[in-house]
Amino acid sequence: MRATDIPRVIGHRGVRKLAPENSLSGVREAARQGVRWVELDVTLLGDGTPVIHHDDDLARLCGRPQPLRNLSLADLPRIDIGSHYRDSPPEPLPTLAEMLTLLDELDMGLNLEVKDHGEDPRYVIQQIVPVLERFDPERLIVSSFSAEQLRQCHLLVPDLRRGFLTARLPPDWPLLLDRLGIYSIHYRWQALKESTLSLLKASGYPVICWTVNNKKAGERLLAQGVTALITDDPQPFARYL
């Protein structure tokens, strides 16, 4: 399988069950597990630096309720996102640029979810896109729950593959997805009906389900024609790697 092909199994935030989420070590562990693509989150520091992080603060991972908007690139060496995870050594909060360098070294693909923490969507996309220009676009899907972020991405980089994150399709979904230039649909697996999957497949959209940690459910979804599963633990799905 080429790194440009979407694999059937994508590691969630690296491999969240096996290593600190959204971390460099987590992506290395994903590669050791045979995972070829990972899903990671990107958000901004207060100075506009894109970093790989899910939340809008450090409370959950660092025990510090410090908003990211109050931090800058110079603060990153003092942040440890690893020590909360079992016996993990200290782990830096990576910038998007650092993560892309590692993914290049490992020849891995990336589903990058742009977080919506209330910032201006155009500003967010404007900070992220220049960093992504160095990464192979055939190994990249940029996804979001925010239609406006996706619209801005479509305006700024029309050729970049975009994924629409959802737990339910809006009534006008064919028009909306076409207007946003959507490549793939990223669906909450518990909410995906087989009839909806059939509609999406008939419309030509790859369907990626999140976050699938149940082996039987994952195998059923793949048998029904889902393109890929995003999972915290790839081990139960080793036969599909």
* Mean pLDDT, each 10-residue run in order, the chain (241 residues): 78 97 98 98 99 98 94 96 84 98 98 98 99 96 98 97 97 97 98 97 97 98 98 98 95
- What is the CATH classification number for the domain harbouring 91? 3.20.20.190
CA atoms of 107 and 28, how far apart (whole Å):
11
What is the structure's pLDDT at 222?
98
CA atoms of 194 and 176, how far apart (whole Å):
21
Phi, psi of 150 (to 5 degrees): -65, -35
Domain assignment of residue 204, yes or no = yes
Burial of 77 (C-beta count, 10 Å sphere; 0-12/13-18/19+): exposed
Domain assignment of residue 61, yes or no = yes
Residues 128 and 42: beta-carbon distance below 8 Å = yes
| Closest listed residue to residue 15, CA positions, set 238, 241, 235 | 235
Percent of the chain beyond pLDDT 90? Answer: 94
Domain assignment of residue 4, yes or no = no
What is the structure's pLDDT at 24?
98
Domain assignment of residue 187, yes or no = yes
Domain that holds residue 36: 9-240
Domain assignment of residue 3, yes or no = no
Domain assignment of residue 123, yes or no = yes
Q: CA 156: distance to chain centroid?
A: 20
What is the structure's pLDDT at 86?
78
Phi, psi of 210 (to 5 degrees): -130, 160
Q: Tens digits of per-residue pLDDT, 110-120?
A: 999 999 999 99
Say how many domains are in the chain.
1
Domain assignment of residue 2, yes or no = no
Burial of 11 (C-beta count, 10 Å sphere; 0-12/13-18/19+): buried
Residues 44 and 127: beta-carbon distance below 8 Å = yes
Domain assignment of residue 173, yes or no = yes
